[in-house]
């Protein structure tokens, strides 16, 4: 398919906005221009136009440049339009193929962590991972994740929680694992996805036979799961 033709000057100027978004803080003209791959003299006219549109603002009229009110408004609108599960669905499908294990999305439901999407891996897993399955807070990786970052809500359910030592380990590691927990011979790992307020909105949970499921923190499986969760968190402003 032939690539659609765009407007080159917009694409060039857009590099300045990308640089500001990437750094997340106001930048001096020379630094901003360098990050965008242009000279300050070339960058300045673009910035003047962006200021008029509200995409960029300049501190005091002569200080560093930062994202303007329109850029912030667009960001908020974008976040409001995001459906976390819709965003994550193609991600878990790719992960299932990459990892060779089943990958699921769990969100906080009325009765606790609840599976809402499942991407089946090539290796069969003899455990219930259907849509609507509620996961144990103490015995599953996804449950431990929610017990760690949504503790008050978890306590309100009145169900058994992981002990304080395990919760502290999950928080320190940044994810939860379970080996031969609920079902012997089955292991899992769950990585958190956060929104712009820092709230845990979902868990990406991989599950598979313990014999072929690597739960080491520096292993490729955990690395891929972390990377996917981090990507989704960034898309949601986390």
**Is residue 165 scored above 70 in pLDDT?**
yes
Residue 123 is predicted with a pLDDT of 66
Instruction: Give domain 82-235's CATH architecture.
Output: 2-Layer Sandwich (3.30)
Other Cβ atoms within 10 Å of 128 Cβ, number: 12
Token pair 């455990």 in the structure block, residue: 127
DSSP code at position 160: -
Least Cα distance to 108 among 164, 148, 70, 58 occurs for: 148
Tokens of 133: 């399955």
Contact criterion met (CB below 8 Å) for 200 and 192: yes
Q: How confident is the model at residue 13 (pLDDT cuts 50, 70, 90)?
A: confident
The domain 8-80 having CATH identifier 1.10.10.10: the answer here is yes
Average pLDDT over residues 157-177: 94
Residue 78 is predicted with a pLDDT of 60
Could you tell me the residue ranges of all domains in the chain?
8-80, 82-235
**Is residue 188 scored above 90 in pLDDT?**
yes
Residue 59 is predicted with a pLDDT of 84
Residue 191 is predicted with a pLDDT of 98
Lowest mean pLDDT among 19-33, 53-67, 74-88, 214-228: 74-88
What is the pTM for the complete model shown?
A: 0.68
Q: How confident is the model at residue 82 (pLDDT cuts 50, 70, 90)?
A: low
Residue 21 is predicted with a pLDDT of 83
Contact criterion met (CB below 8 Å) for 181 and 140: yes
Residue 237 is predicted with a pLDDT of 80
Q: How confident is the model at residue 133 (pLDDT cuts 50, 70, 90)?
A: confident
Q: How confident is the model at residue 128 (pLDDT cuts 50, 70, 90)?
A: low
As a whole number of Å, the CA-based R_g of the chain is 22
Q: What share of the chain is helix, strand, coil (3-state, %, to 5)?
A: 50, 20, 30
Token pair 């994550």 in the structure block, residue: 88
Tokens of 119: 């991407």
Contact criterion met (CB below 8 Å) for 65 and 47: yes
Instruction: Give the model confidence (pLDDT) of 203-236 as tens digits.
Output: 999 999 888 999 999 999 999 999 999 999 998 8
């Amino acid at each position: 398919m032939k690539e659609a033709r765009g407007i080159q000057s917009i694409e060039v100027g857009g590099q300045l906005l990308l640089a500001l978004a990437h750094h997340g803080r106001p930048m001096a003209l020379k630094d901003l221009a360098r990050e965008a791959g242009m000279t300050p003299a070339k960058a300045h006219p673009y910035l003047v136009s962006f200021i008029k549109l509200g995409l960029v603002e300049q501190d005091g009229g002569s200080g560093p440049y930062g994202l303007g009110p329109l850029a912030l408004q667009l960001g908020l609108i974008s976040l409001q339009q995001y459906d976390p599960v819709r965003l994550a669905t193609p991600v878990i499908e790719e992960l299932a193929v990459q990892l060779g294990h089943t990958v699921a999305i769990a969100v906080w439901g009325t009765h606790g962590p609840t599976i809402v999407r499942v991407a089946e891996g090539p290796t069969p897993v003899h455990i219930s991972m259907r849509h609507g399955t509620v996961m144990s807070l103490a015995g599953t990786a996804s449950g431990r994740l929610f017990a760690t970052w949504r503790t008050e809500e978890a306590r309100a359910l009145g169900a058994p929680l992981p002990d304080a030592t395990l919760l502290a380990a999950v928080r320190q590691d940044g994810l939860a694992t379970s080996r031969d927990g609920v079902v012997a011979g089955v292991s899992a790992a769950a990585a958190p996805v956060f929104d712009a307020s820092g709230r845990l909105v979902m868990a990406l949970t991989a599950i598979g036979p313990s014999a072929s499921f690597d739960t080491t923190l520096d292993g490729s499986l955990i690395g891929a799961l972390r990377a996917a969760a981090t990507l989704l968190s960034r898309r949601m402003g986390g």
